[in-house]
Structure 1
Amino acid sequence: MKRTALSAAILTALPLYADAGEITIKRDTWGVPHVYADTTHDLFYGYGHSVAQDRLYQMEISKRSTQGRMAEILGTDYVEYDKKIRTNYDPLSIQRQIDALDTDDRAILDGYAKGMNAWIRQVLAQQDTLLPKQFSDNDFLPEEWTAFDVAMIFVGSLGNRFGDYNTEIENQQLLDALIETHGENNGWNIFNQLNPLNDSTAPTTIPKSDWSGTFDPRHPELTKRPAISDKTQQDIARLATGQDGAILGLSHNEARRYNEQQFHDYGLTGVAGYPQTSNMIVVGKKKAKGVNSILLNGPQFGWYNPAYTYSIGLHGAGFNVVGNTPFAYPSILFGNNEHIAWGSTWGAGDLVDIYRESLNPDNPEEYLFQGRYRPMETRTETIRVKNAEAVTVKIHKTVHGLLVSHDAENGIAYAKKRAWQGRELATLIAWTRQGQAKDHPEWLQQASRSALNINWYYADQAGNIGYVFAGKYPERKPGHDNRLPASGTGDQEWLGIKPFHRNPQVYNPSSGYIANWNNKPADDFLAPDMYWYSWSEADRVDTMTAIMESKDRFTPEDVKQMMEDVSYADVNARYFIPFLDDATRSLPKDDERRQAVALLREWAQTSHDKDRDGYYDEAATTLFQAWLPDMLALTFKDDLPGDFFNWYASAGYPSPESPLRSSLNVQPGTKALLQALRGSDAGVQQDYDFFNGHPADELILASLDSALNKVKQAHGDSAANWKLPVVPMRFFTNNFLGMPQAGSDEEKQTHIAMNRGTENNLVIFNGRKVESHEVVPPGQSGFIAPDGTPSPHYEDQLKLFENFEYKRTWLMPEQVDANTQSTLRLLTE
């Protein structure tokens, strides 16, 4: 394979400073760096240096897109984007948190930034061989990094993006429209059925018998050793403002349209483009076969080139960790050491509220709070624009947070309050330090520090497994409906933050395993407030638990096969085929509708293209994907006014014209449809009849007739020809915020879409050693040389991913040495 300028450069020792600490970086056969150093600063210096070699352009775009600095390199088309990002975070709050870190924690950020800068200086000195091609294509150069930049990659993605979903304003618009159309009583009934506060039948990550609503703080796993002192977290809490927000100056309808459009522009799927996130399976000693524990994570951020996650090994300064993490965070979100393994999925818990501010009619920059009008805080941001004049934006903030919308004409503004505000850096450090934990109590202490709504998972050498629904959740006043904007005048303020022992969590669950696909954490836990996401009886996690309940014990190969099986499973079919069967049971055997349902009954509820002819093998796939949208339309279209039906119309299936950009999930309309069909047996009370007095079977048969007609018109009468074209899995060149992180010609794809992780990592403990595997497509490196030559590790994991294969990852020194392909020694300040 041709050696690129970059791969040649990393074979050379680079003594950058005199009187310096020494760092050794060993890269394995897949290009994964293993950094060895004695101090925290030097360890993360080596980390930053490695990231810069592999992903410099991607990281430059990540830095700029999380801070709203895209226009200064790409021009006027990005000004509005930059404005929206600038109004979504408080830079002063972030800097104060950085300044409050203790010396060793601060060294993580400083070391990382200095390592990045060391490589950037070399790139700028050798642009003809080391400057990634995308910089030349877009006519700008990389700039040096600071601790703030490193922190904002984490804050601007995991916090300001994935920890910030909220649709309370949109929910209020839906409720208002329903009441206007159907009256107060029916309007509320429809709203509660579409967006329920609690579905008692929703599957839970913690077995219902294992959770009582609190984790006993006297539990031996918490009292086994003294709690770790957390002065840094206390300092940060004192600095927290609890205030932040987004989207300045938009009316209610504009805000809703913006929310829908931004997700579409950012390349995400789901209703209105919302992402559908990650899955996890952890198997403990009670359920594992031949080993003590197994952890297989599939974080689902979407599929991108360069890869969304970055692989790294860190060895020294109290770390001995291998794994991968989004956008090369300093914290390894998915990984292991020799004692424990950990992973995560999005938690969907509600820790963000919108407050409705009443403006002073004489001064729209004042708002009513606790009996008097108060001035909003303001700051002015200057956005530099390439080849154009700079633009300024004025940002407003109330006691609740930054403004989401500001309707001076009607005297109303909306502000966003985040429970995690001011705790972003504590969360980042907790995630970093979990890699040093040796057992469950140490891991649990770090989980207790995390403020974001993320599920944390644990497995260890002895076969113990654990789970925590992490995050800082507000204690709301009685009567505060978390689905709708709260009064901002002072009568609906939070009572505080719930103590950690009330976060759903379990250690060695009775089931012997932990399965999660962003489903409900525990029984009777407050539902999320997003109209596009709810915890319901219909949940894709059932595809995983059905397999896990099918036999007593699972080997690592069994778990890998389970992940492959669910990747091709139809997430909807299991819930509705029984209803189709009941509706057609009395029909003659030769009735085409009865025969069609027989086809569905015989279907394995998966969609493959094993002969690789470009069409799905299963005729039932075509029929079911035609039926479900028709059934949704017959059920809901006449009840939902205006374009609100569009929120509940999608069955979630991709097509070649609209390919899979994130994972597939049961859509909100589909969940409400199942509850309507359940009737009095539903987990959500059905006070409004979506079938309008008609028997449900009547609508099922009508939609089946419609689906059959469509299928036959498109494919002919013979079921042998009912084949849909395969949807490929594309690796897009935008990042999670829709910003271009690679050249337009760098898009990659596999033959068929798979409902699986952006990456997959598998960790196996047998009581004596750890064995770990991963696949991180397209490859470790995003580097393309100035002459257009890609790194040899640019896409060398793409075929692995397509074939459900994994590469080994190496932890112990002898393993790393046996698989080292190049060695680099650095000297730091």
Structure 2
Amino acid sequence: MPNKMTRTALSTAILAALPLFADAGEITIKRDTWGVPHVYAETTHDLFYGYGYAVAQDRLYQMEIAKRSTQGRMAEVLGTDYVEYDKKIRRNYDPTSIQRQIDALSTDDRAILDGYAAGMNAWIEQVLSKQDSLLAKQFHDNDFVPEAWTAFDVAMIFVGSMGNRFGDYNTEIENQQLLDALIKEHGETDGWAIFNQLNPLNDPSAPTTVPKGDWSGTFDKRHVELAQRPSISDKTEADIARLAIGQDGGVLNLALAEAQHYNAQQFRDFGLTGVAGYPQTSNMIVVGKDKAKGANSILLNGPQFGWYNPAYTYSIGLHGAGFDLVGNTPFAYPGILFGNNADIAWGSTWGAGDVVDIYRETLNPENPNEYLFEGRYRPMEVRTETIQVKGADPVELKVYKTVHGLLISRDDAQNLAYAKKRAWQGREIETLMAWTRQGQASNHADWLKQAARSAFNINFYYADQQGNIGYAFTGKYPERKPGHDNRLPASGEGDQEWLGIKPFERNPQVYNPSSGYIANWNNKPADDFIAPDMFWYSWSEADRVDTMRAIMDSKDRFTAEDVKQMMEDVSYADVNAGYFIPYLDQATRGLNTEDERRKAVQLLLDWAMTSHDKDRDGFYDEAATALFQAWLPEMLALTFKDDIPGNFFNWYASAGYPSPESPLRSSVNIQPGTKALLQALRGKDAGVEQSYDFLNGRSANELLLSSLDNALKKVKQKHGDDPANWKLPVVPMRFFTNNFLGMPQAGKDEEKQTHIAMNRGTENNLVVFNGQQVQTHEVVAPGQSGFIAPDGTPSPHYDDQLKLYEDFDYKQTWLAPEQVDANTQSVTRLNTGH
């Protein structure tokens, strides 16, 4: 049995943490046939009390781990193995800043967080009084019990999983390392040229979410002067690796660190290279009145967070206190990221805008805790954290901060340190409230006001009953000084400070675009938008959104079923093939039709560029799948290996395809090397100037034929000479039991999988407006509930959406009271009086 907190002790903790409310409120929770709770209450506090109560019933262990994961408090329940993890997390956020923002909330906004926490605690109190039946099996297995929640805990779930993940990607130090290695290998001119072709500031040929010509604003037309930057090229690779993670174990970005660890496993165990496995996030299609058929507007969202058990998102209906909505949201945030009310629908995808800069701090040789800023050495701020450790003594940690932000790494031997400056710092809670209040909007103007408040780099989408659709690229973006190359660390001495934050009006946005639809797969938002600063992500002419746009442009009108089918079709599409098969065709046209290379290319030409297992024999049906997945890595190696030095080549060598041994952890995207390859083949017609010749004087056809020879040799060695036998084993879609930060949120035996991986959303939600009513459907696999009883019996809604998901089917969700009542399976009534 776990160590028990008494019910009296918990009650005392709850009452100490929460404000008192004089009037008792009545709350009704109606659960539908899929276990989705619909909460009814009159006040904001009570509505979110019911929300928290329902979440605790369904996902208490997952939420406890999410809370501890995002605050760096894992070691106190799971022991010494998690101390280093806790250190990394605590270096990555400022708890005082978060609490200050919470304390500044209006009474009604604060009631959202307080009510949610109170509802969680009400269920926890019941659980602790009946641990033998109500305490989830995972608590028993790991010998601890849940603790009382506060408003801070509720907020940190959002901050730690949204801000510190999707708003925090940054590889400026790695970019600097790459640039220095290129200059050392090729000299200043060619080194810079290669760097700019691999990681371009702007590719005008990249497809945009806002149709070209529909947005008259200008986000950023800067042209950074490519002056020489301070070099670290004299360091060894070991020095560089140490600098990147910090002598003290700090990390640049925790999500990135997780991905790097994952890729290291790929390299060692499966022979894969590059950045396959990095988070590649989400897609969206919104169809307006000029393009929709049988509807006024259609919205289909596919947020790609990865696949987990319990499910990453949580479904909920909120009814009362100015809310009347249904939808789902990651980790049961108070704000519903993917949902609708009777008037509008909304959704989101990650936007790769650059909201974070790394500043290189010059340390005082006489005192490494002082840094040079504006002509004088200043002391760093320091706070001391105490990490409680189960079964061991507490561990103390010092967290340092400069005027730019939290210190992420330091090298006292070189008198250098690196600090992270975030444009969204201090705006995290406002962003959460904007997302929460978005659900109360009834028209585009109201919705846009909330979008303008969001500080994170997120794409927001809109559709309404009248058939209007809209898009806004949200976030607070810095106005950088001329000459500040956002791809590289900036000087911390005061000469490269931001000039301010750009007004929301300069963020790309559109209302009723000329195309009649909005398609996004994390592609470039609009023209004149600088690229992100991540070596593993760039906007280029090659973009997987083209698979969506090709279908949407193929006919004039789309029904809801057409849109749903489009999303299914792109889930099985090869995102790379369409760009390169024409080049292979051109290279082999002069060959005899009996030449094995020409026959192989004909196989590719006859391919629909999709990969299925319709006969469910465990192998992909299409021989071309095996051939193309063998060819692309060969072509990448022949093109780049002689130009990109050392292990940096691995960043650009991966084709990004998963395998049964290394399954899909997030969506499949076109990898950075593949994007650079297309530009190299385009030559003078490329969107990015190709001043350095990656082909090294060889003809494109020469490399294409050579790589095709190599691919054919490997395919035949593995599968034989007969193309009928060129079948790759199917990659399953696994629902992992760690959460997005790698922390265990379920038992090891709870991993689930579908037969075949699909390049689609973690969840999908489809909203259809016809001018009078709204119809909504969703699938949130494996299921609504993660609860497993102490005796091992799972909730009936534990994995009941897994088959739906595998079959690309959806369940209906309910909004109107009569619909909810007609599909209610259980009713719970609560009273919030103390």
Shorter-chain TM range is over 0.9
1:623 is displaced (CA, Å) by: 0.1
Matched-pair contact (CA < 8 Å) for 1:265–1:738: no
In structure 1, the residue corresponding to 2:575 is in which secondary structure?
coil
1:781 is displaced (CA, Å) by: 0.1
Q: Deviations over 1:656-714 (max 9, x none)?
A: 00000100000000000000000000000001111111001101100000000000111
1:611 to 615, 620, 643: 615
Q: CA–CA distance in 1 between the matches of 2:256 and 2:464?
A: 42
1:252 is displaced (CA, Å) by: 11
1:18 is displaced (CA, Å) by: 9.9
Match of 1:240 in 2: none
Match of 1:400 in 2: 404
Q: Deviations over 1:243-286 (max 9, x none)?
A: xxx99971599958988652255799981642010000000000
Match of 2:335 in 1: 331
In structure 2, the residue corresponding to 1:155 is in which secondary structure?
helix
Matched residue type, 1:824: T
1:477 is displaced (CA, Å) by: 0.4
Matched-pair contact (CA < 8 Å) for 1:633–1:649: yes
Change (3 A) 1:19 1:495: closer
Q: CA–CA distance in 2 between the matches of 1:157 and 1:499?
A: 26
Match of 2:10 in 1: none
Q: How does 1:41-80 map to 2 (within 5 A)?
A: 41-80=45-84
Match of 2:11 in 1: none
Q: CA–CA distance in 1 between the matches of 2:66 and 2:243?
A: 20
- Name the stretch that deviates more: 420-429 or 401-410: 401-410
Match of 1:307 in 2: 311
Q: How does 1:597-746 map to 2 (within 5 A)?
A: 597-746=601-750
Q: CA–CA distance in 2 between the matches of 1:136 and 1:609?
A: 40
Change (3 A) 1:819 1:524: same
1:262 to 258, 263, 268: 258
- Residue 802 (1) aligns with residue 806 (2): yes
Change (3 A) 1:255 1:323: closer
Matched residue type, 1:505: Q
Q: Deviations over 1:284-323 (max 9, x none)?
A: 0000001100000000000000000000000000000100
Match of 1:505 in 2: 509
Q: CA–CA distance in 2 between the matches of 1:121 and 1:252?
A: 40
Change (3 A) 1:63 1:349: same
- Residue 417 (1) aligns with residue 421 (2): yes
Change (3 A) 1:131 1:255: closer
1:753 is displaced (CA, Å) by: 0.2
Q: CA–CA distance in 1 between the matches of 2:252 and 2:190?
A: 24
Match of 2:232 in 1: none
Q: CA–CA distance in 2 between the matches of 1:591 and 1:177?
A: 42
Q: CA–CA distance in 2 between the matches of 1:273 and 1:484?
A: 24
- Residue 40 (1) aligns with residue 36 (2): no
Aligned-residue CA RMSD (Å): 1.8
Match of 2:13 in 1: none
1:452 is displaced (CA, Å) by: 0.1
In structure 1, the residue corresponding to 2:505 is in which secondary structure?
helix
Q: CA–CA distance in 2 between the matches of 1:362 and 1:608?
A: 64
Any runs of at least 4 consecutive aligned residues in structure 1 with deviations exceeding 3 A, and if so which?
Answer: 16-19, 246-249, 251-261, 264-270
Change (3 A) 1:495 1:17: closer
Match of 2:592 in 1: 588
1:534 to 535, 538, 549: 538
Q: CA–CA distance in 2 between the matches of 1:584 and 1:290?
A: 46
Matched residue type, 2:559: T
Match of 2:548 in 1: 544
Q: Deviations over 1:403-437 (max 9, x none)?
A: 11111110111000000000000000000000000
Match of 2:826 in 1: 822
- Residue 81 (1) aligns with residue 77 (2): no
Q: CA–CA distance in 2 between the matches of 1:260 and 1:414?
A: 17
Q: How does 1:71-110 map to 2 (within 5 A)?
A: 71-110=75-114
1:214 is displaced (CA, Å) by: 4.8
Matched residue type, 1:393: L
Q: Deviations over 1:455-497 (max 9, x none)?
A: 0000000000000000000000011000000010000000000
Q: How does 1:342-491 map to 2 (within 5 A)?
A: 342-491=346-495
Identity of aligned residues (%): 81
Matched-pair contact (CA < 8 Å) for 1:247–1:255: no
Change (3 A) 1:17 1:109: closer
Matched-pair contact (CA < 8 Å) for 1:347–1:454: yes
Q: CA–CA distance in 2 between the matches of 1:250 and 1:718?
A: 52
Q: CA–CA distance in 2 between the matches of 1:783 and 1:824?
A: 18
Gaps of 5+ in 1: 1-15, 216-245
Match of 1:226 in 2: none
Matched-pair contact (CA < 8 Å) for 1:266–1:737: no
Q: CA–CA distance in 1 between the matches of 2:243 and 2:102?
A: 26
Matched residue type, 2:355: L
Q: CA–CA distance in 2 between the matches of 1:260 and 1:153?
A: 19
Q: CA–CA distance in 2 between the matches of 1:121 and 1:198?
A: 55
Q: CA–CA distance in 1 between the matches of 2:249 and 2:85?
A: 19
Match of 1:779 in 2: 783
1:213 is displaced (CA, Å) by: 2.1
In structure 1, the residue corresponding to 2:50 is in which secondary structure?
helix
Matched residue type, 2:639: T
TM-score by length of 1: 0.93
Match of 2:344 in 1: 340
In structure 2, the residue corresponding to 1:161 is in which secondary structure?
helix
In structure 2, the residue corresponding to 1:444 is in which secondary structure?
helix
Matched residue type, 1:184: E
Matched-pair contact (CA < 8 Å) for 1:175–1:188: yes
Q: How does 1:144-159 map to 2 (within 5 A)?
A: 144-159=148-163
Match of 2:134 in 1: 130
Q: CA–CA distance in 2 between the matches of 1:763 and 1:162?
A: 25
Change (3 A) 1:258 1:742: closer
Q: CA–CA distance in 2 between the matches of 1:252 and 1:550?
A: 55
Matched-pair contact (CA < 8 Å) for 1:311–1:324: yes
Matched-pair contact (CA < 8 Å) for 2:88–2:250: no
Change (3 A) 1:288 1:339: same
Matched-pair contact (CA < 8 Å) for 1:325–1:334: yes
Matched residue type, 1:262: E
1:524 is displaced (CA, Å) by: 1.4
In structure 2, the residue corresponding to 1:436 is in which secondary structure?
coil
Q: CA–CA distance in 2 between the matches of 1:192 and 1:671?
A: 13
1:17 is displaced (CA, Å) by: 11
Q: Deviations over 1:153-187 (max 9, x none)?
A: 00001001111000000000000000000000000
Matched residue type, 1:437: A
Aligned residue pair count: 784
In structure 2, the residue corresponding to 1:816 is in which secondary structure?
helix
Q: Deviations over 1:562-618 (max 9, x none)?
A: 000000000000000000000101111110000100000010000000000000000
Matched residue type, 2:207: P
Change (3 A) 1:580 1:272: closer
- Residue 172 (1) aligns with residue 176 (2): yes
- Residue 316 (1) aligns with residue 320 (2): yes
Q: CA–CA distance in 2 between the matches of 1:255 and 1:130?
A: 38
